[in-house]
Amino acid sequence: MKRGDPQPLAHAPSAEVRREQEERLRKAWATPTGWRYWSEVNNTKVGLWYTVAACCFFLFGGVLALLMRIQLAVPDNDFLTAEQYNQVFTLHGSVMMFLFAVPIFEGFSILVLPQMLGARDLPFPRLSAFGFWCFLIGGTFVCGSIFFGAAPQGGWFMYPPLTTRYQSGVGVDIWLLGLSFIEIASIAAAVELIVGVVKCRAPGMRINLIPLYSWYILVVGGMILFAFPPLIAGDLLMEMERAFDWPFFDPARGGDPLLWQHLFWIFGHPEVYIVFLPSVALMAMIVPTFARTPMAGYSWVVLAAVGTGFLSFGLWVHHMFTTGLPGISIGIFSAASQAVAIPTGIQIFCFLATLMIGRVTRSVCLLFAFAGLATFVLGGLTGVMVAVAPFDFQAHDTYFVVGHLHYVLVGGTIFPIVAGFYYFFPLVGGKKLSEKLGRVAFWLMLVGFNVAFLPMHWTGLLGMPRRVFTYPANLGFDTLNMISTIGAFVLAAGFLVFVWDVVRPKKGQAISARNPWGGGTLEWLSEMPGEPWGVRSIPEIDSRYPLWDQPNFVRDVDEGRFYMPDAEEGMRETLVTTSIDARPIQCLRVPGPTFLTLYAAAFTGAVFIFSTYHWWMPAIVSGVLALGTIIIWLWTGTALIPEKSEKDVGLELALPIYTSGPDAVGWWAMFITMLGDMTAFMSLVFGYFFYWTIHEDFPPRDATGPGLLWPLAGGSLLLGGWLMTLLARRCNQQDRANAFYFAIGSAVVLSVVGSVALILGPWTTGLDPTSHVYPATVWILTGWTVFHVALGVIMQLYCAARRVAGRMTYRYDADIVNVALYWHFIALTVFITVAVIAGFPLVT
């Protein structure tokens, strides 16, 4: 340890004391039994449910894939009708991307992240639980639709105008609303994970000591934060067109189908890396363990991961090479797309270097990791090929791309995930999976996969387009398709063996040894089977692989010689540390089991589900219930004033229990969430300027805009509302109660009046959003702003109520501090909205 760092206690507490400590910890972290089991919010349970649910959706998606392969096994097949096939392939893509690939990363990260960081839980356990229930409800709704023949059939990319004007069934709405709902849950989980990595690390775990998996979580969390909002904005535009005929994608009224493609692929391309990077992260944990040596080029890996994340946002146009773009854009995006091969190459070579340095222990785990690498490299090479625009002109939308993307996603995602299963499985139940069955599964999967997908490259270049429900004989596709089908079934058999290995009863099997693979990172502190508290005492870290490098580490942790070996008050607690150098700054009390999150998710889900069928009244009622439930949840579970201001966490350190501002996890969550929210808003603004670039005159010369008066009046009033909110925060800090109530009251009045004024702009000039895309964009920006102001008003009233109820004081002021932060973003939103709708027409 570095000099000055706290040392573990020289002598362990007596056995008696330790038993009592364990008793209290166990009680605080115990999972409720019986039906109340489902009220648990702790990461070990929610993460597990999340992972299991994602795997179930994966199997469902796999069955859909087999149905497609049966249909395509022979030419002119009628196993499925065209309509059924189109539903199946749409759902296969959507399920794999939205219900498996992203959620399994998030669920699994929720499960292992705290242990990896030496925390007892993530900072917002109830948010994780809420996200899980949203995911389960939304996913079931979307998947269930196929049993009623009502599934979406627009492809996972949902291109308008096919989906806006030519598919009148409820399928598209199920996709838009069901998946938007899940995307919001995904963002919630991303916020949770980002704040977890930034604020809940073990003391001493400076940013250069963070386990690589956690680095990747940080990168991927950030990518989700910026990639999903454009899609949510797109979903909003498309649903407005479908439900209310606002013509965003209708060329007859100034709209353009390509706007959707831009928004979709600004999401869709980073999505590929969102799916791929977590699997690299798994490899980054597995490879060093089996090579028995620290990861080579740690900083290179981190930089490469960050670089991949950044670059992935600049490549989306390569999905649109055939839309008739000018050569210069094609060339730039072609080069940018290839550039992403470089950080990827660095990551792969870091793995190779690690394997070279180390003395490798063989295992099924490593087999899958190696197969993943070999498969992914091939997918990467074909990826470089399709990034070459001239070749893409031929390969685009053919089975070549189907082959390519499955090599990337199965090689880069599925195989590493299976490797991760074998690696981390003992952490969950204390027992290992079978090496023998693992080998059988491995060979079936590897051979099956290649037999299924390698020929597809060929099929595509022989001219077979994607998304065809059948093909005629004699075009040369017959044999190749039959081979692909056979391969798909061999692959499926491999998964069957694997699933059996996971679910088979293991009663007779011995409990695995602790740290069975000899890993060096904190999650391997876990006892077998794990205790509910996660980590017995929270250690001080000074190595990337503390279990390898720090002497007597496991003993010291186990004997409670580090921080927080006890739960004196019987509450669930974990440490909050600073974001860069991980100095402990707070003893965070995390909330325990509740059904509120389940109710909140159910009501929120009902809003989306009822809206799908245009049952507006039940949707509004559900919305009010959801809001009410969430307010009760916040009121009873967050920013609680502790019984004492500080707490002794051991090693002669006393930490505050309550913090606000940038030290607090809540502040970070608000900040990060609002970054995502701003991204969605900016996507709408992007839409406005996209129309400006494609039209000769936008806004149209003869169009009456919202005028100047009302937008300016509304904007000024709303900015006044923002300033009064800031004033309220200050008055609260100075403990001037009356001034606080006055300020917050004026903020509410100004915000409400300002919203009305903002609406009066387009209202008084009679802008009809169904007449042309211009009024529609004005209205959507106005509507977005007013909706956010309305939420802001609820927050202002909430703060006032908290102060009245004595739940917020001048010292315990997290509520108003976070609300003020929210209002900073609203002020920016208001400013941009007014500048665009009122200011921009003056410029053109």
Contacts of another protein in 166-205 (CB under 8 A)? 166-167
Residue nearer to another protein on the CB measure, 351 or 562: 351
Closest CA to 133 of 630, 590, 668, 621: 630
Contact 400, 371 (CB under 8 A): no
- From the list 164-172, 229-237, 700-708, 716-724, the region that binds another protein by CB under 8 A is 164-172
Q: What is the signed CA dihedral for 198, 214, 103, 686, rounded to 10 degrees?
A: 60
- What part of residues 671-700 is at the interface with another protein (CB under 8 A)? none
Tell me which H or E stretch contains 655: strand 653-656
Name the minimum Å distance from CB 367 to another protein.
7
- What part of residues 495-514 is at the interface with another protein (CB under 8 A)? none
- What part of residues 304-323 is at the interface with another protein (CB under 8 A)? 304, 322-323
φ, ψ (nearest 5 deg) of residue 161: -85, 0
- What part of residues 245-264 is at the interface with another protein (CB under 8 A)? 251-252, 255-258
| By CB under 8 A, residue 662 contacts another protein | no
Name the minimum Å distance from CB 477 to another protein.
8
Name the minimum Å distance from CB 375 to another protein.
10
Dist. CA 377–CA 412, nearest whole Å = 8
- From the list 59-67, 114-122, 336-344, 626-634, the region that binds another protein by CB under 8 A is 336-344
When binding is defined by CB under 8 A, the residue of 6, 169, 297, 839 that contacts another protein is 297
Alpha helix stretches (DSSP H) within 532-647: 546-549, 553-558, 596-612, 616-637
- From the list 60-68, 135-143, 155-163, 264-272, the region that binds another protein by CB under 8 A is 155-163
Residue nearer to another protein on the CB measure, 345 or 661: 345
| By CB under 8 A, residue 71 contacts another protein | no
Rg (CA), the chain: 27
| By CB under 8 A, residue 17 contacts another protein | no
- What part of residues 104-133 is at the interface with another protein (CB under 8 A)? none
Residue nearer to another protein on the CB measure, 394 or 716: 394
| By CB under 8 A, residue 468 contacts another protein | yes
Pairing mode, strands 573-577 and 584-589: antiparallel
Residue 210: both structure tokens together: 């963070």
| By CB under 8 A, residue 790 contacts another protein | no
Tell me which H or E stretch contains 842: helix 840-843
- What part of residues 85-104 is at the interface with another protein (CB under 8 A)? 86
Give exposure, 37-50, as e/b (b: 16+ Cβ within 10 Å). Answer: eebbbbbbbbbbbb
- From the list 76-84, 568-576, 684-692, 781-789, the region that binds another protein by CB under 8 A is 76-84
By CB neighbour count within 10 A (0-12 exposed, 13-18 middle, 19+ buried), where does 769 fall? Answer: buried
Secondary structure class of 458 (helix, strand, coil): helix
- What part of residues 479-498 is at the interface with another protein (CB under 8 A)? 479-480, 483
Name the minimum Å distance from CB 433 to another protein.
18
What is the crossing angle of helices 102-117 and 125-144, to 10°?
160
Residue nearer to another protein on the CB measure, 394 or 765: 394
Residue nearer to another protein on the CB measure, 78 or 702: 78
When binding is defined by CB under 8 A, the residue of 243, 346, 502, 653 that contacts another protein is 346
- From the list 192-200, 346-354, 570-578, 803-811, the region that binds another protein by CB under 8 A is 346-354
Name the minimum Å distance from CB 509 to another protein.
25
Size of the site for another protein (CB under 8 A): 99
| By CB under 8 A, residue 231 contacts another protein | no
Dist. CA 295–CA 278, nearest whole Å = 16
Closest CA to 489 of 73, 53, 96: 73
Residue nearer to another protein on the CB measure, 257 or 839: 257
When binding is defined by CB under 8 A, the residue of 95, 373, 600, 713 that contacts another protein is 373
Residue nearer to another protein on the CB measure, 452 or 718: 452
Name the minimum Å distance from CB 492 to another protein.
18
- From the list 275-283, 377-385, 734-742, 825-833, the region that binds another protein by CB under 8 A is 377-385
Contact 295, 302 (CB under 8 A): no
Pairing mode, strands 653-656 and 646-650: antiparallel
| By CB under 8 A, residue 302 contacts another protein | no
Contact 528, 512 (CB under 8 A): yes
Residue nearer to another protein on the CB measure, 338 or 579: 338
- From the list 15-23, 343-351, 546-554, 558-566, the region that binds another protein by CB under 8 A is 343-351
| By CB under 8 A, residue 329 contacts another protein | no
- What part of residues 513-572 is at the interface with another protein (CB under 8 A)? none
Name the minimum Å distance from CB 444 to another protein.
12
When binding is defined by CB under 8 A, the residue of 128, 145, 214, 382 that contacts another protein is 382
Dist. CA 658–CA 2, nearest whole Å = 29
Alpha helix stretches (DSSP H) within 292-431: 298-312, 327-339, 341-357, 364-387, 389-395, 399-406, 415-429
Q: Which residue has the tokens 């009760």?
A: 632
Residue nearer to another protein on the CB measure, 463 or 662: 463
Residue nearer to another protein on the CB measure, 112 or 365: 365
Name the minimum Å distance from CB 469 to another protein.
5
- What part of residues 593-632 is at the interface with another protein (CB under 8 A)? none
Closest CA to 389 of 341, 334, 338: 334
When binding is defined by CB under 8 A, the residue of 79, 349, 686, 810 that contacts another protein is 349
φ, ψ (nearest 5 deg) of residue 78: -125, 30
- What part of residues 390-449 is at the interface with another protein (CB under 8 A)? 390-398, 443, 446-447
When binding is defined by CB under 8 A, the residue of 412, 420, 455, 721 that contacts another protein is 455
Residue nearer to another protein on the CB measure, 364 or 799: 364
Residue nearer to another protein on the CB measure, 394 or 770: 394
Residue nearer to another protein on the CB measure, 220 or 366: 366
Q: Residue 133 CA to chain centroid, in angstroms? A: 14
Give exposure, 453-490, as e/b (b: 16+ Cβ within 10 Å). Answer: bbbbbbbbeeebebeebebeeeeebbebbbbbbebbbb
When binding is defined by CB under 8 A, the residue of 274, 451, 669, 713 that contacts another protein is 451
Residue nearer to another protein on the CB measure, 465 or 570: 465
Secondary structure class of 472 (helix, strand, coil): coil
Residue nearer to another protein on the CB measure, 287 or 585: 287
Secondary structure class of 338 (helix, strand, coil): helix
- What part of residues 353-372 is at the interface with another protein (CB under 8 A)? 353, 355-360, 362, 366-367, 370-371
Dist. CA 116–CA 94, nearest whole Å = 31
Dist. CA 238–CA 254, nearest whole Å = 15
Contacts of 47 (CB under 8 A, 6+ apart): 107, 108, 109, 110, 111, 112, 128
Residue 221: both structure tokens together: 């969390």
Name the minimum Å distance from CB 211 to another protein.
19
Contacts of 631 (CB under 8 A, 6+ apart): 794, 798
Dist. CA 170–CA 151, nearest whole Å = 8
End-to-end alpha carbon distance in the chain: 64
